[in-house]
Structure 1
Amino acid sequence: MESVRLLVLVLALLWSPGASGLRFIGDLRMDLSAVIRRVDRSFLSVTVDASLAAEEKFMSLLSSAKVRTLAKALSPSFLRFGGTRQDFMEFSPQRSHQDSGSTEDESCDQLELPSWLENQLKKAWTKQQLTLMREDLHRKYRRVKFTEDTVDLLNSFSVCSGMDLIFGLNALLRTDDNIWNSSNAGSLLQYCESRRYRMSWELGNEPNSYEKKAGVRVDGLQLGRDFSRLREMMSQSEFYRGAGLFGPDVGQPRDRRVDLLEGFLKTGSEAVDAITWHHYYVNGRDTSLEDFLDPEVLDSLALKTKEVLEKVRLVSPEKPVWLGETSSAYGGGAVGLSDTFAAGFMWLDKLGLAAKLGLDVVMRQVFIGSGSYHLVDENLDPLPDYWLSVLYKRLVGPEVLKVEFSSVAQRKRVRLYLHCANRKSYQSGAVTLISMNLSQKPVWISVPARVSSSTVEAFVLQSDRPEEEGLYSRCVTLNGVVLKMVDDRTLPDLKGTRLPPDEHLQLPAFSLAFFVLTDAGAPACK
């Protein structure tokens, strides 16, 4: 196959003593002839944390017109309902199936939350989060019973937002022989089938931590058998026979987690449609801004991913591997960091690197829920990572292209990934350069002559405040304009800036950017 090599000269402005202005740093080579990876159409997906159902009334926040407007902009997407508290929840039906909540005749508008109730719930949710944080800190989790209302609201939210629901079942309901007790899940599946709710399933969340959370130890072999039992139940259902099942949602490889994954693969890999694992870079309780900008911290994802992929490919080489839950910092996120502009570097780099390494889906913890790593805050307003996610959805296609950057000195802090552009937004052959500048010096990328006549649309994200102070901001600008909703049902225009031919592509200090070369004519993208 003919290889098309493009040389991109990268220049940077250095202000250190003795610097003489612009200095050559290195070159970027892009192979536009072949796709090296292809990710799922719902690659960037999101979660709703099960903590939202700790008191069932808060599930009604998913009926907010504002929340649904924000969610629609992230479709197509999987919507995972799960997390720590899913293993402390039991389905407790309160009414006959015929009297269930939403019906197919009701429109999404009819099911929206009244504004007065939304305001009440937002105030109460702020207090509820303190209770949830205390439970997490002490690892003392109370049993929660949820009714048909939770399921109805999740279904309505996923349908009206254009997302595919994945429901996480409780795996800590166990018999005296330490086998999963499937009776409660059976009741839930029966209810969902009676309502014709199209959804997929998971079983358990981070089984490696069951002993700490609940004093229960489950080995990987038994875990796989539990999943096989769930698959058997699904196969007996005419409606869920072909539905998705994903797992085991184990934490990133370390100590016993590796044994758990290996054991699960032996007995359960055939039962699932994708292998899922979780990844966080740092501990949210003792991290720093420096960690969020540290190239070595960002590169740690590659080591963990390669280890998981290696284990899976030994047993099920064709099985997709997903990041079933992921964000910047575990423990609910890092207060004042995971919900700020600084978090965008970890998030965008994870998207770029995960696609390059061969992960098919990345589920962001959390779209809405407790903690500091949410995309939508406690006032239901979008945070910087939300806007970054929407732009990624609109601009980036599933095809990954090969890029190489020769400068050892700058390749760590100037991080670049290349995809075909999203074909719903751009013509065939267009490419999108995903760009990050983790340094306090601006960088220029010189477009080569071969594509210098191509139209370039620049989408540059920066904080609304200058220098390092801006990294702590919860606001973000697109090409200099602060992003915020026009109203509860309307997002702003997310338009790029067209650059003149031969113009250098500028990456300001501490910036994130997408550069779309609309007329690149990449053979791999046709």
Structure 2
Amino acid sequence: MMGQRTLTLMAAALLACALPAKATVMPPALDPSTLPATGTVHPRFQSYNIEMVEVTGGRFWKPYRLGPPASPEDRYAYRPPLDLANPRLVRLAAALGPAIVRVSGTWANRTWFQAQPGTTRPPGFDQTLTMAQLAGLARFLRATDGELLLSFAGVPRLPDGRWDPAQMQALVAASRRAGIRLIAGHYLNEPNLVHLTGTPKGYSANEFARDSDLFATAFRRAAPGALVLAPDAVGQGPAIEALARAANQPVLGVEAMMAPMRVTVDAVAYHHYGGVSERCATSGPLALTAASAFDPAFLARTDATAAYYAALRDRFAPGAPLWLTEVAQAACGGSRWAATFADTPRYIDQMGRLARAGVQVILHNTLAASDYALLDERDFAPRPNYWAALLWARLMDRRVLTTDHPSPTLRLYAHCLKGRRGGVALVAVNLEAEPRTIALAQRAEIYALADADTGRAVTLNGTRLALGPRDALPALNAVGADALTVAPRGVSFAVVPDAGNRACR
């Protein structure tokens, strides 16, 4: 008579023979009703930049269609001032609102505000912002529900070498008279790249801290209620410092800039670019290829940069929120594929990552200039990232929920559903060349974005997205499903209006 142990072993052996050789244990279906809250983001979390040089006109990144640069200076090409009254531009920007509109960039460091018509630009400045251009910006902001974030030039200087706040005071006063809602400001754009700031030769980290404090005090007097941001530096300190020194360019350490600051800031601002375009580098640690778009390590670089500034914030500005005030696929105008659907997984993945990490605001660079723009700079036609941004704006609430990623190449994020108590919105990013599916415990409405073969266009649930007559936005129709399927290297949103999630009530 066989013992109990023998019977158990035989039963196990028979069961093993009955199963396929490579049986897969399916993960349990995701239940949106049980996802816990992890935090909130700013109501204008998804925002964008309009470069100051777009408003004034000037030399910005040369389009690839004009041919490769013959010299470093040939990386730029003149563009006239942006038509901020263009009906298509205004309509498409308004659809992303409410947003913060940052008017800044490297060129803002040397832009002079002409408060009185007919006055002559003084030495040290390269561009002029006129009253008429400021009025046009004010009309754009009103039409799109935009609040303005400004940075200010590093010139002129007081006789003792300190920064002179007169230009800032004039621009803030004129902005307020024009009816602009000024949400925040900061002193200089990317001040750690000191050679691009317009500050005197040999400008030091201690001098930056002194002038940043001076700015904070003067700006709060000029713009009561507006937030003071700092340092607005770019990249992780040690990494970018090493690269700048290798290029024989002066650079300030971010820690050394922040440590001597004495005036409290309202938010810690920083920039992130995961690499540089071929305009600036074709080799080296920051050079990118098309394969980088789907590389988990490339996408994770934004985590490292956020963690770097979070650590500095905890030391020098405890409790202040993080604002990512400039970000795109790559610095130097973006790679050739920044304008294609290949960049859309990065765009959404970065939003999901940083919302979960507690970053309060993300300002994409740019709305409508160069290859990394949401809109084509020639005719303002929507690029693939625009359609993804539009879905995010319509579906994702500021309340962030906790989810687990199915794998390193299948990323999943969750927020409360905008405008629906108890509802949940999910978004999945697939970095693989095959479709992936996530089982759901509740039926959902799916918005699946995929490449429309050309790379320059995108489909929603199989239908190509395009503007209609008079630039009307198309209907963004969902399809019902019991699972969240994501196209190869695609992005899919899933909406569960009746999830009954307690954190979303």
User: 1:296-331 CA deviation, whole Å, 9 max, x = no partner?
Assistant: 111121122112101101222210111010011111
Q: How does 1:324-403 map to 2 (within 5 A)?
A: 324-335=325-336, 337-369=337-369, 371-377=370-376, 378-403=378-403
Contact in 2 for aligned 1:167/1:202 (Cα 8 Å): yes
The structure with more radius of gyration? 2
Give the 3 Å change call, closer, same or farther, for CA 33–186 of structure 1 in structure 2: same
Q: Which residue of 1 aligns with 2:83?
A: 61
How far the C-alpha of 1:443 sits from its partner, in A, is 1.4
Q: How does 1:365-514 map to 2 (within 5 A)?
A: 365-369=365-369, 371-377=370-376, 378-405=378-405, 411-423=407-419, 427-448=420-441, 451=442, 455-465=443-453, 470=454, 473-499=455-481, 503-514=482-493
User: 1:261-285 CA deviation, whole Å, 9 max, x = no partner?
Assistant: 3344345474432111000111211
For residues 435 and 397 of structure 1, what CA distance do their matches in structure 2 show?
Answer: 16
| Aligned-CA RMSD value | 2.6
Q: How does 1:261-276 map to 2 (within 5 A)?
A: 261-268=254-261, 270-276=263-269
Give the 3 Å change call, closer, same or farther, for CA 212–87 of structure 1 in structure 2: closer
Q: 1:247 aligns with which of 230, 238, 243?
A: 230
For residues 31 and 306 of structure 2, what CA distance do their matches in structure 1 show?
Answer: 24
Q: Which residue of 2 aligns with 1:294?
A: 295
For residues 25 and 93 of structure 2, what CA distance do their matches in structure 1 show?
Answer: 43
> Which one has more relative contact order, counting CA pairs under 8 Å at least 6 apart?
1
How far the C-alpha of 1:213 sits from its partner, in A, is 6.5
Equivalent residue letter for 2:456: R
Secondary structure of the residue aligned to 2:307 is helix
Q: How does 1:30-49 map to 2 (within 5 A)?
A: 32=34, 34-49=36-51
For residues 37 and 394 of structure 2, what CA distance do their matches in structure 1 show?
Answer: 19
Secondary structure of the residue aligned to 2:371 is coil
Q: 1:228 aligns with which of 213, 218, 238?
A: 213
Give the 3 Å change call, closer, same or farther, for CA 283–196 of structure 1 in structure 2: closer
Give the 3 Å change call, closer, same or farther, for CA 523–462 of structure 1 in structure 2: same
User: 1:237-286 CA deviation, whole Å, 9 max, x = no partner?
Assistant: 4xx22122323210111227696433443454744321110001112113
Q: How does 1:194-209 map to 2 (within 5 A)?
A: 194-199=177-182, 200-209=184-193
Equivalent residue letter for 2:187: L
For residues 157 and 355 of structure 1, what CA distance do their matches in structure 2 show?
Answer: 27
Q: Which residue of 2 aligns with 1:170?
A: 153
Equivalent residue letter for 1:39: V
For residues 300 and 106 of structure 2, what CA distance do their matches in structure 1 show?
Answer: 27
Equivalent residue letter for 1:384: P
How far the C-alpha of 1:489 sits from its partner, in A, is 4.5
For residues 269 and 76 of structure 1, what CA distance do their matches in structure 2 show?
Answer: 33
Q: Which residue of 2 aligns with 1:189?
A: 172
Contact in 2 for aligned 1:227/1:272 (Cα 8 Å): no
Equivalent residue letter for 1:412: P
Are positions 1:72 and 2:94 aligned together?
A: yes
User: 1:321-370 CA deviation, whole Å, 9 max, x = no partner?
Assistant: 110100111111002x110000101111100000111100010000022x
Contact in 2 for aligned 1:28/1:404 (Cα 8 Å): no
Equivalent residue letter for 1:375: L
How far the C-alpha of 1:142 sits from its partner, in A, is 7.3
Equivalent residue letter for 1:332: G
For residues 194 and 71 of structure 1, what CA distance do their matches in structure 2 show?
Answer: 23
For residues 94 and 315 of structure 1, what CA distance do their matches in structure 2 show?
Answer: 39
Give the 3 Å change call, closer, same or farther, for CA 180–195 of structure 1 in structure 2: same
Give the 3 Å change call, closer, same or farther, for CA 383–216 of structure 1 in structure 2: farther
Contact in 2 for aligned 1:30/1:404 (Cα 8 Å): no
User: 1:101-129 CA deviation, whole Å, 9 max, x = no partner?
Assistant: xxxxxxxxxxxxxxxxxxxxxxxxxxxxx
State TM-score, norm by structure 1.
0.78
For residues 469 and 207 of structure 2, what CA distance do their matches in structure 1 show?
Answer: 50
Contact in 2 for aligned 1:44/1:393 (Cα 8 Å): yes
Secondary structure of the residue aligned to 1:224 is helix
Identity across aligned pairs (percent)? Answer: 24
For residues 496 and 22 of structure 1, what CA distance do their matches in structure 2 show?
Answer: 33
User: 1:15-58 CA deviation, whole Å, 9 max, x = no partner?
Assistant: xxxx9999556557668363112111111110101221342894
User: 1:158-210 CA deviation, whole Å, 9 max, x = no partner?
Assistant: 11111111122112433465421222222223323443432132221111112
